[in-house]
Amino acid sequence: MPDIATDWPRKTRELSNHHMESTHWDDFAFRDDDVIIGTYAKSGTTWTQQIVGQLIHQGDPNIAMAELSPWWDMRIIPPDVREMIRGYPGRRVLKTHLPADALVLSPEAKYLYVGRDGRDVAWSLHNHHLNHSDLVFQMLNDTPGRVGPPLPKADPDVRRYFNFWLETDGGHHWSFSENIRTWWDIRHLSNVKLIHFANLKADMEGEIRKIADFLEIDVPAAKWPRIVEHCTFDWMKANGEKIVPLGGAGWNGGADTFLHKGTNGRWKDVISAAESARFEELMRERLGRDCAHWLATGEGA
């Protein structure tokens, strides 16, 4: 258990925009078995929610994490969904895209933070943003209470989109570097675990077993094959309506668009060596050398 008196991180600011409203955490009544999954966005959030859901529910193929694991700081989450989660009788799994210093952190809950190379994040974010349905733009931009400018349509040119996102540290969304850095800074806490998209790709079952240990979930040996199968990209893609927010209705092409490729390195044949070097230079400047190395490789957390 972290020492609350000496080193427990406190919320120091609010973050509000077309997507997020950090005050939704202010009155959240935590339980000691809550699981909070944090990411910047498009870093493996949905994949990790599926992993945790499969561990908790022991490989049940019918568990719909899209319904049971909402993005708590998303400002347009309906009140009835919030009430359902507050009263949910089982172990709760919630998602956040907030930087750690804009989040109310509980010393009892468990936090999984997922990192991914920013070039891969930007490529996935571009597909996600480019394929938002008109419904999503209407919900984000026209629902009362929005702070700041509306979310514009995505630039269709992925290379230009990436460079704008990089130079502005988040483009039309929110800061990439402060999100990563604030979670990196609390990685020493015993109830915080950093995981990395590349490591999940390289050894999914091994990483899932580490997550199970961290969450103190016992899994009978006979259950493991089914859990692993239900966390594969192919299985998730085939069952996207249970896994993707709104069942995929927020994206042109539905859940199949949301769960797009699940791969890394698509940027390598598009941006130049100089653009890639510029990305690496800015990551070292904004994150520090150790954090930037972890983000690029999954090593050293």
- Backbone phi, psi, residue 113, to 5°: -115, 130
3-state secondary structure of 75: coil
For residue range 186-216, list pLDDT tens digits in order.
999 999 999 999 999 999 999 999 999 999 9
Q: What's the sign of the alpha-carbon dihedral 187, 190, 192, 193? A: positive
Q: What is the pLDDT of residue 252?
A: 73
Query: Given this model, what pLDDT does residue 248 score?
Result: 61
Q: Which residues contact 221 (CB under 8 A, 6 or more apart)?
A: none
Six-digit token string for 108: 């009892």
- Whole-number pLDDT of residue 250: 73
Distance CA 79, CA 179 (A): 27
Residue 192: its H or E element: strand 192-196
Q: What pLDDT shows up at residue 5?
A: 46
What pLDDT is stored for residue 265 in this prediction? 87
Q: What is the DSSP letter of 88?
A: -
Q: Is the pTM of this model over 0.85?
A: yes
Q: Could you tell me the mean pLDDT of each successive run of 10 residues in the chain, 301 residues long?
A: 64 97 97 98 95 97 93 96 96 98 96 97 94 92 97 97 98 97 97 97 97 98 97 90 72 62 82 97 98 96 80
CB atoms inside a 10 Å sphere around CB 125:
24
In terms of Cβ atoms closer than 10 Å to its own Cβ (0-12, 13-18, 19+), residue 226 is middle
The 10 Å Cβ neighbour count of residue 166 is 20
All domains of the chain, ordered by start, with CATH?
A: 4-297 (3.40.50.300)
Who contacts 79 (Cβ-Cβ below 8 Å, separation ≥6)?
Answer: none
Structure tokens at 43: 């870093």
